[in-house]
Amino acid sequence: MLRVPHKTHATSLENAGSQNKVRLLEGVLDAAELGLIAIAPDGRIAVWNRWIARASSIPSKQASGKRLERLFPEIVNTRLETAVTAALTRGQSSSLSHAFAATSLPLVCDHQDRAAFSRMQQSIRVEPINIGDGQRHCLVHITDVTAIVQRERVLQEKAKRCQELADVVEARAQELTKSNEALGDFSYIVAHDLKEPLRGMRMYAQCLSDDYADRLGDSGLEQLQQIDNQGARLQDLIDALLEFSQVGCVDLALGETSIQGIVDEVLQSLRASLEEKGVSVRIPEELPNVYCDHIRIAEVFRNLITNALKYNDKDDPWIELSWHHASNLKGGVDDDAAIVFSARDNGIGIDEKHLESVFGVFKRLHEREAFGGGTGVGLAIVKKIVERHGGRIWVESEHGVGSCFHFSLPMKDK
């Protein structure tokens, strides 16, 4: 029987085991979803995996023993050479990442005459490794981040366009603010200039009526009365226009304010009118404090209560004032921390097609003298005051059943 020396047999097993380890290592490298290049202690390529072979069109066997910078001079630069040297000599890891490290720098290659690997944008990591032979090798991880970079560029371009649009919107907003201020000033000046000649016109009509009544007769006196009536209406419109313009021109005196206190004051001032029409006012829960202009918000409640009082034909008219946190009320209020106040009544209601237009300037839904007349500016003023506070106002209504006006106010200073 042929005997194999034990040492020789052991050496053969060791060689076989080493080959198996190499094949296992190659299999592990090839299975990776990124590029892996093993660099030998002398700085030459020991092996690279299938990912690199596909990307570069160079098989691993052809690359073995060569220097990386000779194969890809357009990719390998001083930073990568320094990182490989640091890994081999000092066991130091390095990241040459496009986007994943604070000190990251992209390795961007764009050579149309090279393979796809040369045009790839990569994130590179260099790690020292020991494979048991006492010498230090290093492993270069290469990840294709081309798609990530492209997405980043798209996002950056979108962000740039959004910023440009924001700048345009801001510029337009500033122009609109100046235009509104100028319009407010114009309205104020024009209204003042109109009041004096109007006052004179009404005075002369009254003088004619007093001094020449016997000569004018009934027909003439009636015409003078019409002149005075029209003048009185024009006077009301001018006063309403003045008030509307002042809402945008006068700075708000903001501070923490008791809404319950405001409502009590308004109800006291309207007490006679409420009692005359037999209107009951319900306040289920004490109204909270908010951050607002006391005088302006008093105007809001006065207008809403007066409207509810005026446009009610029921035998038992009522008005209910309540409040809710914006987060608990469906109304499209962006600020969940805001308070939403509601003024509900059982009046004549508003047709659905008019729910938005009721807030327009000089907008009336009925004949001029119906329901006690009016200029049609009250709700426009309310809307302007609420919006100047950063709030929103809207109305829910059913014709013949009643209406509910909601408006939001900030709970505290922003």
Query: What average pLDDT does the structure give for the chain?
Result: 75
The residue that leads in pLDDT, 342 or 61, is 342
Read off the CATH number of the domain in which 278 is found: 3.30.565.10
Residue 22: per-residue pLDDT = 58
Give the pLDDT confidence score for residue 286 in this predicted structure. Answer: 94
Q: What's the predicted TM-score (pTM) here?
A: 0.47
**Residue 65 shares a structural domain with residue 41:** yes
Q: Is 271 found in the same domain as 334?
A: yes
User: Do residues 190 and 137 both lie within one domain?
Assistant: no
Q: What is the CATH number of the domain that holds 106?
A: 3.30.450.20
- Domain final residue pick, 247, 266, 287: 247
In our burial notation (b when 16+ CB lie closer than 10 A, e otherwise), range 286-297 reads ebeebbbbbebb
In this structure, the answer to whether residues 302 and 266 fall within a common structural domain is yes
pLDDT tens digits, 261-299: 999 999 998 888 888 889 999 999 999 999 888 888 988
pLDDT tens column, 287-335: 999 988 888 898 899 889 988 888 888 888 999 999 988 776 655 555 6
Domains contained in the chain, number: 3
Q: What is the mean pLDDT of residues 71-75?
A: 64
Kindly report the number of other CB atoms within 10 A of residue 120's CB atom: 22
Who has greater pLDDT, 297 or 74?
A: 297
Query: Residues 218, 260: one domain?
Result: no
pLDDT tens per residue, range 159-182: 888 888 888 888 887 777 676 666
Residue that is last in its domain, among 222, 247, 272: 247
101, 184: one domain: no
| In the chain, % of residues over pLDDT 70 | 70
Q: What is the distance between the alpha carbons of residues 85 and 370, in angstroms, rounded to a whole number?
A: 94
State the pLDDT at residue 285.
93
235 and 366, same domain (yes or no) = no
Same domain for 265 and 233: no
Does 397 lie in the same domain as 263? yes
Residue 122 CB contacts under 8 Å (≥ 6 apart), including other chains? 35, 75, 98, 107, 109, 142, 143, 144, 145
Do 259 and 242 have their domain in common? no
In a domain, 21, yes or no: no
Which domain-ending residue is among 219, 247, 275?
Answer: 247
**Which pLDDT score is estimated for 322?**
93
What is the domain extent for residue 306? 252-409
68-82: b (≥16 Cβ within 10 Å) or e: bbebbeebbeeebee
Q: Are residues 288 and 399 in the same domain?
A: yes
Q: Which residue has the higher pLDDT, 183 or 104?
A: 183
pLDDT tens per residue across span 236-250: 667 766 666 666 666
Which of 63, 56, 38 shows the shortest CA–CA distance to 120? 56
The pLDDT, as a whole number, for residue 407 is: 92
Residue 273 domain flag? yes
Q: Which range, of 35-39, 377-381, 409-413, averages the lowest pLDDT? A: 409-413
Same domain flag for 288 and 179: no
